[in-house]
Chain A
């Protein structure tokens, strides 16, 4: 799918700063993401990748600068934060499924309580997305009874049940055993093929090469360079990106 740049961008960040005490996690970050675009954010640890995508749905509050999500300004007002969170789904490194609820209940809670859906409707919706991530048969189990890869796929289904327009992935495969990484990446690829706007923090360079429209490389809170995967992997412009790629591509 072609990114359509003339529309309202899915995400627009202008001169965004985020500080933790003396530490600057985001340092004058500018970023524009078109609808349907797939972005992979990479960089060394502590470079601000996670902070960047956590600011997009206001799980982390930016200190300065402007963030627009589908044209709504994230200005710390409750109603705008709500609107933005309804448009975005998030998948975490540590899954963050609700351990005291079944897989199905994890998926139906938000549609029922935040969207006022009936139980039957929510159940159908949940089963639709659980089927899509290929674990409908686990619906009645508790998260603790599933493998890491299965849990992460449930987390993806749970987020999709709110029908988000943008999906944010915060190192979705970093906590998984190697043999489970693939099933999660496959699920994400499928989502990408359907045209979902995606921002993904990941170290999976194979995934980046295959799926991303653009790689955003960060270092010390700054966006150091942005380029199409081909370009970025073959001819990284900055010295920092070169050393980073040397270290992760063996």
Chain B
């Protein structure tokens, strides 16, 4: 038996059982991003509200979910909650855990994006009699979104890999199925080489998508940063810090 069999690694890469795990990983990621963004937007709005109770509740939420490991959150939802009579299917547990956790991070990204849009933009919109909705939809949101893309991309990259933690509560995603194959055939390096390749492909695809998004939403600002770089240090600093 050789030290490492490339042919075995390749055959694991094309293993149908493993491929279905990849699909589950993608599904978990997409669902958690969508759910996390919706919940995260809501939490960000609460966090920015002038009502101290709502803002406090949002702060507590963010503090709690960012301050505890996702692994514990998943295990508590899967094994802990049934003790209180609350029971979900495995996949629901994984989704609830991932969404609740991701929302806390995305809420802070959304908030920082909106805070980086200068107050002057809102004042100009008021002075022009724009309605609050038009101000949000046409003035603040597009500018905030452009600032959110780099940290958002980073967060989604982390989330993609964090879905592997769902293997612990027996969700048969890429990691779990790799474990299963490994225990069956004991070709540890070969199986994980295939899994590693899949994670790299997924993160690379996401990188490419993110670059296109940045390019698309950065259209007008390429010229802007050249000329008025001095007036936009906030945007650049926040993007740089997270990259």
Residue ranges of A at the interface with B (Cβ–Cβ < 8 Å): 57-59, 82, 85-86, 88-90, 92, 94, 96-102, 109-110, 113-114, 142-145, 158-159, 162
Contacts and interface: CB of A to CB of B under 8 A. Distances in A.
A59 B220 contact: no
B242 interface: no
A162 B227 contact: no
B51 interface: no
Size category of the B interface is 20 to 34
Given A113-B134, A114-B129, A144 B142 contact: no
A114 B134 contact: yes
Contacts, number: 82
Given A99-B224, A100-B146, A144-B225, A94 B120 contact: yes
A144 B123 contact: no
B118 to A, nearest CB: 8
A113 B219 CA distance: 24
Give the most central of A58, A89, A98, A158: most B CB within 10 Å. Answer: A98
Contact of A100 (B127, B129, B131, B221): B221
7 contacts: A90-B127, A98-B121, A99-B224, A100-B220, A109-B138, A144-B225, A159-B127
A96 B120 contact: yes
Contacts of A86: 129
B234 interface: no
Contact of A92 (B120, B220, B224): B120
A94 B231 contact: yes
A115 B126 CA distance: 14
Nearest to B137: A113
Given A100-B146, A113-B131, A144-B227, A59 B123 contact: yes
Contacts of B220: 99-102, 142, 144
B139 interface: yes
A2 B35 CA distance: 63
A98 B129 contact: no
Interface string B107-143: 0000000000010110110111111001000110011
Contacts of A82: 129
A89 B129 CA distance: 9
A99 B235 CA distance: 13
Given A144-B221, A144-B225, A144-B227, A100 B128 contact: no
B228 interface: yes
